[in-house]
A and B are shown apart, each in its own frame.
Chain A
Amino acid sequence: MISFLQEVLSYEFMRNALLAGVIVSAACGVVGTLVVLNRIVFISGGIAHAAYGGVGIAYFLGLNPVWGAVGFSLLSSLAMGYVHRKEKARADTIIGVMWALGMALGIIFVSLSPGYKADLMSYLFGSILAVSISDLWLMLVIAVVVLAFVLVFYRLLLAISFDETFSTIRNAPVGLLSMAMIVLIGLTVVISMRVVGLILVIALLTIPPAIANLFVREMRGIMALSTGLSLIFMVSGLLISYALNLPSGAVIILVASLAYAFAAAVKGLYEKRRQIKETAAQKNNFGLIR
């Protein structure tokens, strides 16, 4: 085992991958908690897929696709955030259209570009093993911005997530903070894209908080626990994928999904046992009364 780890860590790409895992976990755990608690999983999926439009356009223009993804996800998160706030009745339809439009643009621009395009698959399915030093810097900057934002505005974010109407009546800056939150989701999507790919980003954002929410009853606790969980999934998924020679992004998500199923089952059993105990206790009480 130790020699296996030594072997793994002797490669620069594995060290970078693990570092990326740590940074992205922190951003995903915190932002994913906001996504799950605000029930905007669909918007996150939309931003992630629409970002492919930016990848395609940047590729066509000969620019770094990552910057294309950053630009497009900022744009689409602003647009989707606006639709989500102003068009409550038809929001999901319009967001669904934007989701598909971004993808379509990406596919068209990629096909218009000449040359070999195998590396573009990495944006769809992730390529944590191909993370470069400049990617790591971008991840670090975005993760620090995300964490600082949540740390500073935690109290208002909690209030808005729990009861937006009441926060509005107290004249909290609800619109501004909600939009900022969605933009941060967009940025987090871009850095997660390098790890698991656009298609699987939703899973990375939602599974760890969903598991944490089963056991922790406070937002900050869920943020902390899902950061830890997502780190565990990334590292173990990465090692398993390396050992079995499988695509790392997919293995990470597979590990996370299995963990979710396991956690839900454990929670279910625990609840059942508690119920049985409670009914038994009640019966005993009745016995005493009689």
Chain B
Amino acid sequence: MDTYPEAPIISLHKIWAGYDLDTVLEDVSFDLFPRDYVGLIGPNGGGKTTLIKVILGLVPPRSGSVQVMGTDAAEGRKYIGYVPQLQISDKAFPINVWDVVSMGRIKPGFASLRLNAEDRQRVEEALRQTGMLALSKRSINEISGGQRQRIYIARALAAQPRILLLDEPTASVDPQASVQLYDLLAKLNEEISILLISHDMTAISAYVKTIGCINRRLVYHHDKSVSADMLQAGYECPVDLIAHGVPHRVFPAHDDDGGHPE
């Protein structure tokens, strides 16, 4: 797991970022490689959202560099399939599933005023991949939270991304739907990388390949164990870990390498 012949998809180098006088990210370095499935956990206010915005080129870092597919974030973000956290206010918006997913086919500038045949095909494919094709004419307020999350994944997939970036994917999804969601992500991971950011450790630990902790500083060793320095650096993060009764195979003392449960 140590040697990667391929170049990283996302590469953060010594990132410092924040707002006004408030520093939110301190010296964050992180590489994400093809077919990785990384779960980053951290408490609320620990810089998760800022990290996402830095990766997407929405917040410029104070120092350090961000590279996505070898270029700067504003250019490279076209390779990122961003799946935002569900917002209750989205439901009030009058839009149907097809129109949401076809947003994934937006191209830079004014190049996408109409969908062409290829666009339509990609949208349909993304809906099929996520099992949502039958709902394509439904309004967004007529479907469940789990279905809405799938629609957002479909929208991200329609852009043919190299990586899916998910923000709290199961925060407002019932347990059964979230299990199905992780099954879908595991299947998608055969083709593309996944970076998943959440405050809920127990939710993601069983599914991801590798785990990191983010709380201003990022601790990530490209493996699945929660190490002592994570416990130290993660502040509340390990408290969350222990309090929620983490599946024990996360800890390095156990002999298995935390392989995916079948």
The interface of chain A, by Cβ under 8 A from chain B, is 37, 152-153, 155-156, 158-159, 161-163, 165-173, 213, 216-219, 221-222
Taking A158-B99, A219-B95 as contacts, is the C-beta distance between A169 and B107 under 8 angstroms?
no
Binds A, one of B76-84, B174-182, B195-203, B218-226: B76-84
The interface of chain B, by Cβ under 8 A from chain A, is 56-58, 74, 77-78, 80, 82, 84, 90, 93-96, 99-100, 102-104, 106-110, 112-115, 139, 141-142, 155, 159
| Complex CA distance for A171 and B108, rounded to whole angstroms | 5
Q: CB distance B95 to A170 under 8 Å?
A: no
| Besides A152-B113, A169-B58, A172-B109, 14 new A-B residue pairs in contact (Cβ under 8 A), listed by A number | A155-B114, A169-B56, A169-B57, A169-B77, A169-B80, A170-B108, A171-B74, A171-B107, A173-B110, A213-B94, A216-B94, A217-B96, A218-B94, A219-B94
Tell me which of B77, B103, B139 contacts A218 (CB under 8 A): B139
Q: CB distance A37 to B82 under 8 Å?
A: no
Closest residue of chain A to B77, judged by CB?
A: A169
Q: CB distance A222 to B94 under 8 Å?
A: yes
Q: CB distance A165 to B84 under 8 Å?
A: yes
Q: CB distance A170 to B94 under 8 Å?
A: no
The 4 closest A-B CB pairs, nearest first, are A170-B106, A171-B108, A217-B139, A217-B94
Q: CB distance A162 to B113 under 8 Å?
A: no
B57 / chain A contacts, CB cutoff of 8 Å:
169
| Highest count of chain B CB atoms <10 Å: which of A37, A153, A172 | A172
| Complex CA distance for A232 and B137, rounded to whole angstroms | 30
When A and B form their complex, what is the total count of cross-chain residue pairs whose Cβ atoms lie within 8 Å?
78
A-B contact pairs, 8 of them (CB 8 A): A163-B103, A165-B84, A167-B106, A168-B58, A170-B78, A170-B104, A172-B106, A218-B99
Q: CB distance B113 to A155 under 8 Å?
A: yes
Closest residue of chain B to A177, judged by CB?
A: B110
Q: CB distance B109 to A166 under 8 Å?
A: no
A167 / chain B contacts, CB cutoff of 8 Å:
103, 106
Q: CB distance B58 to A156 under 8 Å?
A: no
| Highest count of chain B CB atoms <10 Å: which of A152, A168, A170 | A170
Closest residue of chain A to B106, judged by CB?
A: A170
Tell me which of A155, A161, A165, A217 contacts B112 (CB under 8 A): A155
Nearest chain A CB to B184's CB is how many angstroms away? 20
Nearest chain A CB to B169's CB is how many angstroms away? 15
Q: CB distance A165 to B58 under 8 Å?
A: yes
B90 / chain A contacts, CB cutoff of 8 Å:
162-163
A162 / chain B contacts, CB cutoff of 8 Å:
90, 93, 95, 100, 103
| Complex CA distance for A152 and B110, rounded to whole angstroms | 10
| Complex CA distance for A219 and B100, rounded to whole angstroms | 12
| Complex CA distance for A218 and B110, rounded to whole angstroms | 23
| Complex CA distance for A156 and B111, rounded to whole angstroms | 10
A168 / chain B contacts, CB cutoff of 8 Å:
58
Closest residue of chain A to B115, judged by CB?
A: A155
Nearest chain A CB to B50's CB is how many angstroms away? 14
| Complex CA distance for A222 and B77, rounded to whole angstroms | 33
Taking A217-B94, A217-B141, A218-B139 as contacts, is the C-beta distance between A170 and B107 under 8 angstroms?
yes
Tell me which of A152, A166, A173, A217 contacts B155 (CB under 8 A): A166
Closest residue of chain A to B109, judged by CB?
A: A173
Tell me which of B74, B80, B106, B139 contacts A159 (CB under 8 A): B106
Q: CB distance B159 to A170 under 8 Å?
A: yes
| Complex CA distance for A165 and B83, rounded to whole angstroms | 11
| Highest count of chain A CB atoms <10 Å: which of B77, B106, B115 | B106
Taking A162-B100, A166-B103, A171-B108 as contacts, is the C-beta distance between A156 and B113 under 8 angstroms?
yes
Nearest chain A CB to B120's CB is how many angstroms away? 13
Closest residue of chain A to B110, judged by CB?
A: A173
Closest residue of chain A to B56, judged by CB?
A: A169
Closest residue of chain B to A154, judged by CB?
A: B113
Closest residue of chain A to B141, judged by CB?
A: A217
B103 / chain A contacts, CB cutoff of 8 Å:
159, 162-163, 166-167, 170
Q: CB distance B113 to A166 under 8 Å?
A: no
Closest residue of chain B to A168, judged by CB?
A: B58
Closest residue of chain B to A218, judged by CB?
A: B94
Q: CB distance A163 to B84 under 8 Å?
A: yes
